[in-house]
Structure 1
Amino acid sequence: MHGSEGKDRRHSTPEVDLRSKLFPRVIGSLAIVGVMVGLMIGRLTTPEPTELQQVDVMDDGLVVWFNNEPKIHGEQIDGTVALLFDAQGKSAKGQLKLNQRDVNWRVRKSDQGLLLTLVAARPLKGKWAGSEEDDRWRLEIHLQEQ
């Protein structure tokens, strides 16, 4: 190892790289284009978020309209009917009559989505069922006194 001569390739001098210096740039460009195309395809295939459109009062309960079917979790706690929707929307409140008695309802935003609560002076029981109608999702909530 007296010099950097490459007589028999046993010296510490690195060999000359014959590959083009553009190869890493081409691979990097292809990776960036691939990521961008993937993001565009993902954006096109993402479903639109579920949104509360309106709440209608009927004789024995409510009709709640959504643009598509939401995930629903419902409970009856101490005579109160509570439904949690995995959806977006505006807060609202109102009142309806059940057997000549007032029932207050309220939609408010929570950490998991929208929370609909129905409260009356007497304990309530509720049943709900949803169906698709006119390219929208209709959820009927029927109430009874316990």
Structure 2
Amino acid sequence: MHGSELNDGVHSTPEEDPRPKLWPKVLGSMAIVGMMVGMMIGRLTAPEPLTLQQIEPSATGLVLWFNDEPTVHGEDVSGSLAMLFNAEGTAQQGQFKLNGKDVRWKVQHAKGGLLLNLLAARPLHGDWHGAKVDGRWRLEVSLREE
């Protein structure tokens, strides 16, 4: 054909298909369903957040209970002991006796998680060690006077 004129009632270019295009809708629906299933699987397999569950005074310091092992960074700051945990929890405070003398403790939210401060009228030094007990993590902070 040398042109686009009618030749026995047909054109050289095909007419536009009047049926709707379903392939983009099918692909879009599959993408949305796949994303939703992936998000549900991710939510089910995500670990629960690390939380500070309980604080108990002991004879030599404090016992902290977590649902799993936390990362702990601690140091002596001007005679007090400060410890940073990569955990969630509520702000708390309290006091206990160490060798008949008061020691105050305070848990507060910090940029990296929870910050535990132990403060007394005399300089304190501390050591800590943890172990898994009954499916929870027990971190024992032992204090000593300088």
Question: What TM-score results when the alignment is normalised by the length of structure 2?
Answer: 0.84
* More moved, 74-83 vs 38-47: 74-83
Q: Count residues in correspondence.
A: 140
Q: Give the C-alpha shift of residue 5 in structure 1.
A: 4.9
- Alignment partner, residue 63 of structure 2: 63
1:122-141 correspondence runs (5 A): 122-141=122-141
Shift of the 5–122 alpha-carbon distance from structure 1 to 2, 3 Å rule, reads farther
Corresponding position: 1:116 with 2:96: no
- Alignment partner, residue 84 of structure 1: 84
Query: Stretches of 4+ moved more than 6 A in 1?
Result: 17-20
Distance of 2:37 and 2:125 partners within structure 1: 51
Q: Aligned AA for 2:43?
A: R
Percent pairwise identity = 55
Q: Aligned AA for 1:98?
A: L
Q: Give the C-alpha shift of residue 110 in structure 1.
A: 2.0
Distance of 1:14 and 1:103 partners within structure 2: 91
- Alignment partner, residue 107 of structure 1: 107
Distance of 2:73 and 2:94 partners within structure 1: 21
Shift of the 17–145 alpha-carbon distance from structure 1 to 2, 3 Å rule, reads farther
- Alignment partner, residue 75 of structure 2: 75
Question: What TM-score results when the alignment is normalised by the length of structure 1?
Answer: 0.84
- Alignment partner, residue 39 of structure 1: 39
Shift of the 22–143 alpha-carbon distance from structure 1 to 2, 3 Å rule, reads same
- Alignment partner, residue 52 of structure 2: 52
Q: Aligned AA for 1:44?
A: L
Q: Deviations over 1:54-90 (max 9, x none)?
A: 1110111000001112222212111111111111112
- Alignment partner, residue 21 of structure 2: 21
Q: Can you give the 5+ residue segments of structure 2 that lack an aligned partner in the other structure?
A: none
Q: Give the C-alpha shift of residue 108 in structure 1.
A: 1.3
Q: Aligned AA for 2:89?
A: G
Q: Can you give the 5+ residue segments of structure 1 that lack an aligned partner in the other structure?
A: 8-12
**3-state SS of 2:87 partner:** coil
Q: Aligned AA for 1:22?
A: L
- Alignment partner, residue 142 of structure 2: 142
Q: Give the C-alpha shift of residue 94 in structure 1.
A: 1.3
Across the aligned residues of Structure 1 and Structure 2, the Cα RMSD in angstroms comes to 2.5
Distance of 2:122 and 2:15 partners within structure 1: 89
Q: Give the C-alpha shift of residue 43 in structure 1.
A: 0.3
